[in-house]
Structure 1
Amino acid sequence: MSTTKGSTINLSSLASSQDLQQSIQQHLRYTLAHAPKQATLRDWWLSTSLAIRDRIMDSLVATQDAHNENNVRRLYYLSMEYLMGRMLRNNVHNLGLEAAVCEATQALGLNWDELCEQEVDMGLGNGGLGRLAACFLDSLATLDLPAVGYGIYYEFGLFKQDFENGKQVEHPDTWTTFGTPWEVVRPEYTQTVQFYGHVEAGYDDCGNYRPRWVDTKSVLGVPFDIPIAGYATKTVNFLRLWSSRSTEDFDLDEFNRGDYVEAVREKAIGETISKVLYPNDKTENGKELRLVQQYFFVACSLADILRRFERNNSDWHDLPKLAAIQLNDTHPAIAVVELMRILVDEKHMGWDDAWSIVTRVFAYTNHTLLPEALEKWSVALFAKVLPRHLQIIFEINRRFLDEVEAKWPGRDDIKVVLSLIEEGGDKMVRMAHLAVVGSHTVNGVAELHSRLLKSDLFPEFDALYPGKLTNKTNGITPRRWLYSCNPELSKLIDSVGIESDWPKNLERLRALEAKAEEASFQQQFMAVKRANKAVLAEVIKQECGVEVSPDALFDVQIKRLHEYKRQHLTLLHILTLYHRLLNDPQADIVPRVFIFGAKAAPGYALAKTIIHAINSVANVINNDARIDGKLKVVFLPNYRVSLASKIIPAADLSEQISTAGKEASGTGNMKLSLNGALTIGTLDGANVEIKEEVGDDNIFIFGLTVEEVQRLDREGYNPYHYYDNDAELKNVLDWLCSGYFCPEDPHAFEPIRHSLLAGGDHFKVMADYRAYVDCQRQVDAVYRNPSRWAQMAILNTARMAKFSSDRTIQEYADEIWSLPACPIQE
């Protein structure tokens, strides 16, 4: 039995180096029809990926056979996003084949790292929500838990970001142009989905009322499976992605008459559904497509789940025993209504029986405390797209409000708050309310977030359903976010005698605490960090044309661009340092490289203005010889998983500075801390728990607390108070908006000024500025003490076990899903 890093897999049964080499060459010749001399690097990557896929497939077949044979209880994870990144290196690591693959590719004259760079990130997600889902799939397989992920096979991802004159420009993310070696198409499981039409009254042969949804339009959902290999286990689950296909072929008569566009119109409309992740919903057509998209993937997924159930079962009351369905955010909330429709309309079940089944099957994860981020769809839009579902929603709401009346007789004010239908000018369906009412458990994603969920966002639901609202603090997979992305740190960890199964048992890293004060280990640890910084410096030079020193402090802020995440607060700090240096060239500050990575939603004008401002300030600072390179600012374009894999191991400082009470969790904070970056942050989201784990002395905390933010809001917050009473703050904000950094458009950054002053500064940037700048002085002071900084960094890596997604998923399995493991035997 040959083993690697905790692996219990018989590697000889998977592949020796020689077997892999032969398999790669066979795929090159017989699958790709290439001789080695003509093969490009991409051809070799594809052949290598197919060779690895071959070794996954045996385990995939064995896993699904065991699950089907034993009629196991499964978890079905419904998510609009899966930010998978690149798959080859991750699959090789999870299979324990890295040594064999490196040897095989080297024998073929290939560079393993260059080979992995050929892979295009799978464009199935946007940010934290999608990356969390990907981490969860990894942990589900690693823990031998029977699970299927469901999503959409987007032809184009969110968008590919570029900068023109410092402004974000969006291009199509054409990640599917040449396909992916990891997919397996499953045409035999194609589903038909209906939309539009109207509902007619009808009765069955026994005189029972049976409404009929008629005159609908149909599309097909074709499933593509992506195998998900667990780490050091034989379990291989899968992610099933639905691609829309028209039920109509092109009109040959129209085509022959020369009307080529009209000939394919219906076909094109049908296939638009899975075209793009998050179509812009600023227009009515965009809103309609979003709702159609959500229902499409939910309807396909539920039909597939029920098909699998009916294969071995006939009593619908057994469905909750065999299926647990997790709604990842509100996007799949329509599943509650769809399952009711199927049970009542198609299976002819009584309402109460059907509702009992539904509410024992579903659970819902809430990911936001921002009321404006909770999805709502107009009743008029529902009536157009899903008329039967709207009827069911009204009936669910009628019965639910009877519950509310029983709890609070005569309290119409509470009914207004809790109703699934928001009254007003345009009646809206509240999808989060639907998810709460239709689920047996609702969870937040950090202890603070879950507390605020109960006290601020859903207090009435918490009073009505005591115990339904719970917490499951998010986590990240250490396989991807340390073992794979930071191989040199992984080797250092192995070298000090820590048990080799640490990627599956992160608690093992606690042993590093004993090394934290050892000078020799500190030097080794920071040497790894510096080498990673040198790699990132080269990426920065290639991507941005800016030369940076690996000896500078790498200050990193990588996340979606949003006001509450406060990238513009970091910008004000950059300007503060720049101003100080210009007015005192001898000012003693630690040289810094500020590194940003973020995409702004195409319709989010202020977020795009903030990007423009950062890039404009960067252009001035990076070309100012007066500051002697002490400050550099770079905004790496097209932030994605593969880029994060280079940034995170190189980060010294992790910016987690959201307004307290606004960030649900954050998982970037966990990845950065695990890789030895120190956090500067507010007491928000998972920062609170990271502080508890790493210790108060190993994190930089500043700013208003949740309670202080709430008190300011109650008493009347005035951002001008801070502006007028802090000369440095006033100066840098005025400077930013003066036209100095964008002379071709002097008023370009006025929207930032307006949002921070006249607009009310909803996210308290002005209130937290001084505390943030002062805290950054502490960062500067500690960085001057290399031994102290190294000790803090080591302790961050050592104490992150709580934030493994394995812990998170095991809690879900035990406390929400009641999901037993099903290990696959050799």
Structure 2
Amino acid sequence: MQDHPALSDVTLPDPKPPAAPTPLAERIVASLTYRVGKDVRAARPHDWLAATILTVRDQIIDRWMASTRSAHGAGAKRVYYLSLEFLIGRLLRDALTNLGMNEEVREALASLGVDLAAIEEIEPDAALGNGGLGRLAACFMESLASLDLPAYGYGIRYVNGMFRQRIDDGWQVELPETWLAHGDPWEFERRESSYHIGFGGEVVSTDTGGAKWRPAERVIATAVDTPVVGWRGVRVNTLRLWTAQAVDPLKLEAFNAGDYAAALADSNRAEQLTRVLYPADAHPAGQELRLRQEYFFSSASLQDVVRRHMQYFGDIRTLADKAAIQLNDTHPAVSVAELMRLLVDVHDLEFDEAWRITQATFGYTNHTLLPEALETWPLPMFERLLPRHMQLIYAINARLLREARSRPWADDRAISAISLIDESGERRVRMANLAFAGAHSVNGVAALHTRLMKQTVFADLHRLYPERINNKTNGITPRRWLQQCNPALTGLLRETIGDAFLDRTEATSALEAHADEGDFQARFAAVKRANKAALSDHIRRHIAVRLDPDAMFDVQIKRIHEYKRQLLNIVETVALYDDIRSHPERDWAPRVKIFAGKAASSYHNAKLIIKLANDVARRVNADTSTQDLLKLVFVPNYNVSLAERIVPAADLSEQISTAGMEASGTGNMKLALNGALTIGTLDGANIEIRDRVGPDNIFIFGLTADEVAGRRQAGYHPADCIAQSRELSQALTAIASGVFSPDDPARYSGLVAELYNDDRFMLCADFDAYTRAQREVDALWRTPAAWWSKAIRNTAGVGWFSSDRTISEYARDIWEVM
């Protein structure tokens, strides 16, 4: 568990049985007694949590089974969403909200002397994701159910998942996430849905001239299902996660011979597949485990999809008519080769027919333009682990390149870019190209991102298949990211504009008419201040820093990566700190800089940026000359539950990635929906947010994506930018010289030197523009009526960024299920 007190530290009042208990209270007590095995008087908070979940789950199961029966009865086409991450967060509040049971359960528990809010806080976050990719998948699953679309989500049931982050002396420390230590009352093991997954071995010819793969190693994938409840309980869909077991879990002969390590070797190797999310891949063993994970869950999922299709429809040739499989980024791209293997080797289809079915079945969502994030695998490793798939990839590639060669524009450079095999150095398998080739639809996740896909990473594939790329701008579920995380604002909106926005988030646009009303502004501001006070209390209790809720809460919460430019924010904070000290006579806007996010275990610079944030915080927060005007906090172990605290409390949303590098962003949507103003570049969905809220209600700065490309092409010299900016030069000198790291003066010299010599992410080029935009933010903050008018217009304008709208577009344009 994380981000909350230990269970032993949580106490509840002695339960007081009601004089006339409600039927729901009686069911909760029955669950406590007969399913948890606790007497009312002996029950601890975690017992009440389990009993409440089990009781609510009973009602969900009825709807779950009804949803499944209706899909079967109608012969409905199903959506299958394959994602290596599902950042689902806590589920009790989500289920209660969508079922409309919040008040009923709260009253039933109160009659038993139990506080619903208290037990909700001790539910663990499922450690099944890292950042935006996994949270998007969770939002999509909820919207699929809310729109009454039959769907399965497929992923891995990570035992430890993404690490738990602790900050020791400012450094990130990675600890195992133990969310499953006490089991998960939401899940159901499906032993009948188990599949053998092979690795290694060889491919042999069959008597009929075909091929048969004889794996050297097999593991068993077994399904574990979690219900996903849609809004108003209209449908309950399934999140199906895979566990791994060895075929022979204990080699008894070795055990009896005293070789206990060898006896358990197969079990340990199998369990590695589901132990952690994103094992460090800076070494060959980590790369191999990552590929094994991706194939493991892809193969299990595809086998499950094909088995279900054959069970209900009987003809493998109709697969694309009844199944739409969406690949969430490149992680499940090996599914293209796996489906071909199943169709050709298991169901005996001809290659051409199998390829037609495969392309008609798959859609592929791309989430990044960064070349290093478009997964490639060393060909020898891929072929050793998946020899039959390598044969199929070569066959697909031959077909692809012959088709490309028939085009008059396809020179050797274009053929090289289109190929599924990168031959620019060590031969590697390009998973993004495989996903593109094997799908009938390839979508970006924001308008700019989609345009850049066509112009950069997929330029030649787009030229070959000009109708394939389309845009589906991301969205967020308003149930979790407004109704659940910000009930006070939800209540104010309901009172002011009615309930239409609960079912159709775009109806928040009615709020525009109230943006300049002084009384409404005061009430909106009061909700924000209460949320800030609650966050301040949480931070004081957990990291012992006191914050002023009347200061501006300036928030950057996301995965730590250089392209997201937390470093730009920190360097500007150093410059601001120096400016405040140099000019105390100026009318400064009090600010609290709030950072949260995890750095990948092997990402040195990202971890160094976390350390820098904490070093700057230690110096700034201890300085009495600026204490009332500037503070900085890094809140550890960022997860969904922490985001649900920070998002409603944010005044300013930092979305400052290098233009052209952020595919979309969804944190920008969550924060704007909750009344935060955005400061950002014209990157990802920031552009569409600007268009929805109006250019006067967002702070845009810096180079555009085209300008970034132009600067690089012309020859970018960051040292010149630094020399021309006194504030930037002084801030970097202070950081590099050890002002913030007196225990190790050279700690940041290398980080700063990279900015002088390379600055790949254009921090120096954008610094002065960013600083000017921040001073515009200060000026606006000192004019409260203008600030709250713009904040209200943000909430009014971003209802369009609902995942319901996004999923409707997928369903209509790609999956053809609406």
Q: What TM-score do the two structures reach when normalised by structure 2?
A: 0.97
8 Å contact 1:294–1:331 — kept in the other structure?
yes
Q: Quick one: percent identity of the two aligned structures?
A: 48
The residue number in structure 1 matching 2:524 is 525
- Opposite residue 28 of structure 1, the aligned amino acid is L
Rounded Cα–Cα distance in structure 2 between residues aligned with 1:188 and 1:17: 40
Q: Could you tell which deviates more after superposition, 578-587 or 151-160? A: 578-587
How big is each residue's C-alpha offset from its partner over 1:367-424, in whole Å with a ceiling of 9 and x where there is no partner? 0011111000011011110000000000100111000100137722211111000003
The residue number in structure 2 matching 1:809 is 807
The residue number in structure 2 matching 1:3 is none
Q: Could you tell which deviates more after superposition, 460-469 or 393-402? A: 460-469
8 Å contact 1:161–1:599 — kept in the other structure?
yes
Rounded Cα–Cα distance in structure 2 between residues aligned with 1:273 and 1:662: 31
Q: Structure 1 unaligned runs (5+)?
A: 1-15, 821-826
SS at match of 2:535: helix
Rounded Cα–Cα distance in structure 1 between residues aligned with 2:776 and 2:111: 51
8 Å contact 1:182–1:227 — kept in the other structure?
yes
8 Å contact 1:606–1:751 — kept in the other structure?
no
CA 1:550–1:193 in 2, change beyond 3 Å: closer, same or farther? same
SS at match of 1:377: strand
The residue number in structure 1 matching 2:425 is 425
Rounded Cα–Cα distance in structure 2 between residues aligned with 1:637 and 1:342: 45
How far 1:216 moved relative to its partner? Answer: 2.3
Q: Give matches, 1:779-798, under 5 Å.
A: 779-798=777-796
Rounded Cα–Cα distance in structure 2 between residues aligned with 1:771 and 1:145: 45
The residue number in structure 2 matching 1:407 is 407
The residue number in structure 1 matching 2:393 is 393
Counterpart of 1:203 (choices 200, 207, 217) is 207
- Opposite residue 37 of structure 2, the aligned amino acid is A
8 Å contact 1:139–1:806 — kept in the other structure?
yes
Counterpart of 1:66 (choices 65, 70, 74) is 70
8 Å contact 1:660–1:704 — kept in the other structure?
yes
- Opposite residue 283 of structure 1, the aligned amino acid is H
CA 1:573–1:215 in 2, change beyond 3 Å: closer, same or farther? closer
8 Å contact 2:199–2:215 — kept in the other structure?
no
The residue number in structure 1 matching 2:15 is none
Rounded Cα–Cα distance in structure 1 between residues aligned with 2:251 and 2:206: 34
8 Å contact 2:677–2:698 — kept in the other structure?
yes
How big is each residue's C-alpha offset from its partner over 1:172-192, in whole Å with a ceiling of 9 and x where there is no partner? 011111111110110011111
Q: Give matches, 1:56-455, under 5 Å.
A: 56-204=60-208, 209-408=209-408, 411-455=411-455
- Opposite residue 793 of structure 1, the aligned amino acid is A
SS at match of 1:757: helix
The residue number in structure 2 matching 1:31 is 35
8 Å contact 1:569–1:769 — kept in the other structure?
yes
CA 1:196–1:17 in 2, change beyond 3 Å: closer, same or farther? farther
Rounded Cα–Cα distance in structure 2 between residues aligned with 1:502 and 1:18: 32
Counterpart of 2:797 (choices 794, 799, 805) is 799
SS at match of 1:737: helix
How far 1:428 moved relative to its partner? Answer: 0.3
How far 1:499 moved relative to its partner? Answer: 3.3
How big is each residue's C-alpha offset from its partner over 1:138-188, in whole Å with a ceiling of 9 and x where there is no partner? 100000011110000001111000111101100001111111111011001
Rounded Cα–Cα distance in structure 2 between residues aligned with 1:269 and 1:408: 50
How big is each residue's C-alpha offset from its partner over 1:216-253, in whole Å with a ceiling of 9 and x where there is no partner? 21100110001001001431001000001110121223
How far 1:106 moved relative to its partner? Answer: 1.1
- Opposite residue 190 of structure 2, the aligned amino acid is R
How big is each residue's C-alpha offset from its partner over 1:717-772, in whole Å with a ceiling of 9 and x where there is no partner? 000111111111100001011111111111111232022112x1011000100000
Rounded Cα–Cα distance in structure 2 between residues aligned with 1:190 and 1:659: 44
- Opposite residue 551 of structure 2, the aligned amino acid is A
Rounded Cα–Cα distance in structure 2 between residues aligned with 1:293 and 1:730: 46
How far 1:312 moved relative to its partner? Answer: 2.1
Q: Give matches, 1:445-524, under 5 Å.
A: 445-496=445-496, 498-524=497-523
How big is each residue's C-alpha offset from its partner over 1:20-73, in whole Å with a ceiling of 9 and x where there is no partner? 211111111111111122111111111111111111000001111111122210
The residue number in structure 2 matching 1:603 is 602
CA 1:489–1:410 in 2, change beyond 3 Å: closer, same or farther? closer
Rounded Cα–Cα distance in structure 2 between residues aligned with 1:303 and 1:501: 42
8 Å contact 2:404–2:410 — kept in the other structure?
no
How big is each residue's C-alpha offset from its partner over 1:543-581, in whole Å with a ceiling of 9 and x where there is no partner? 221101000000000000001100010011111111012
CA 1:373–1:34 in 2, change beyond 3 Å: closer, same or farther? same
Rounded Cα–Cα distance in structure 2 between residues aligned with 1:772 and 1:42: 47
Q: Could you tell which deviates more after superposition, 690-699 or 215-224? A: 215-224
SS at match of 1:561: coil
- Deviating runs (4+, > 6 A) in structure 1? none
How far 1:586 moved relative to its partner? Answer: 2.8
How far 1:501 moved relative to its partner? Answer: 4.1
Rounded Cα–Cα distance in structure 2 between residues aligned with 1:582 and 1:685: 36
CA 1:500–1:668 in 2, change beyond 3 Å: closer, same or farther? same
- Opposite residue 505 of structure 2, the aligned amino acid is L
The residue number in structure 2 matching 1:47 is 51
SS at match of 1:627: coil
- Opposite residue 93 of structure 2, the aligned amino acid is R
8 Å contact 2:366–2:444 — kept in the other structure?
yes
How far 1:262 moved relative to its partner? Answer: 2.1
How far 1:17 moved relative to its partner? Answer: 8.6
How far 1:108 moved relative to its partner? Answer: 1.2
Rounded Cα–Cα distance in structure 2 between residues aligned with 1:485 and 1:501: 19
8 Å contact 2:219–2:245 — kept in the other structure?
yes
Q: Structure 2 unaligned runs (5+)?
A: 1-19
8 Å contact 1:203–1:211 — kept in the other structure?
no
SS at match of 1:187: strand
SS at match of 1:457: coil
How far 1:263 moved relative to its partner? Answer: 1.7
Q: What TM-score do the two structures reach when normalised by structure 1?
A: 0.96
8 Å contact 1:499–1:508 — kept in the other structure?
no
How big is each residue's C-alpha offset from its partner over 1:64-108, in whole Å with a ceiling of 9 and x where there is no partner? 111112221000000000000100001000000111011111111
SS at match of 1:154: coil
Rounded Cα–Cα distance in structure 1 between residues aligned with 2:325 and 2:215: 30
SS at match of 2:231: coil
Counterpart of 1:770 (choices 761, 768, 771) is 768
How big is each residue's C-alpha offset from its partner over 1:594-648, in whole Å with a ceiling of 9 and x where there is no partner? 0001100000000001110010010011111122321110000000000000000
Rounded Cα–Cα distance in structure 2 between residues aligned with 1:73 and 1:17: 44
Rounded Cα–Cα distance in structure 2 between residues aligned with 1:675 and 1:779: 18
Cα RMSD after superposing both structures: 1.2
Rounded Cα–Cα distance in structure 1 between residues aligned with 2:332 and 2:317: 23
Report the number of matched residues.
799
Q: Could you tell which deviates more after superposition, 487-496 or 127-136? A: 487-496
How far 1:117 moved relative to its partner? Answer: 0.3
Rounded Cα–Cα distance in structure 1 between residues aligned with 2:250 and 2:118: 43
8 Å contact 2:555–2:653 — kept in the other structure?
yes
Rounded Cα–Cα distance in structure 1 between residues aligned with 2:290 and 2:656: 31
SS at match of 1:611: helix
The residue number in structure 1 matching 2:10 is none
Q: Give matches, 1:529-568, under 5 Å.
A: 529-568=528-567
Rounded Cα–Cα distance in structure 2 between residues aligned with 1:215 and 1:369: 35
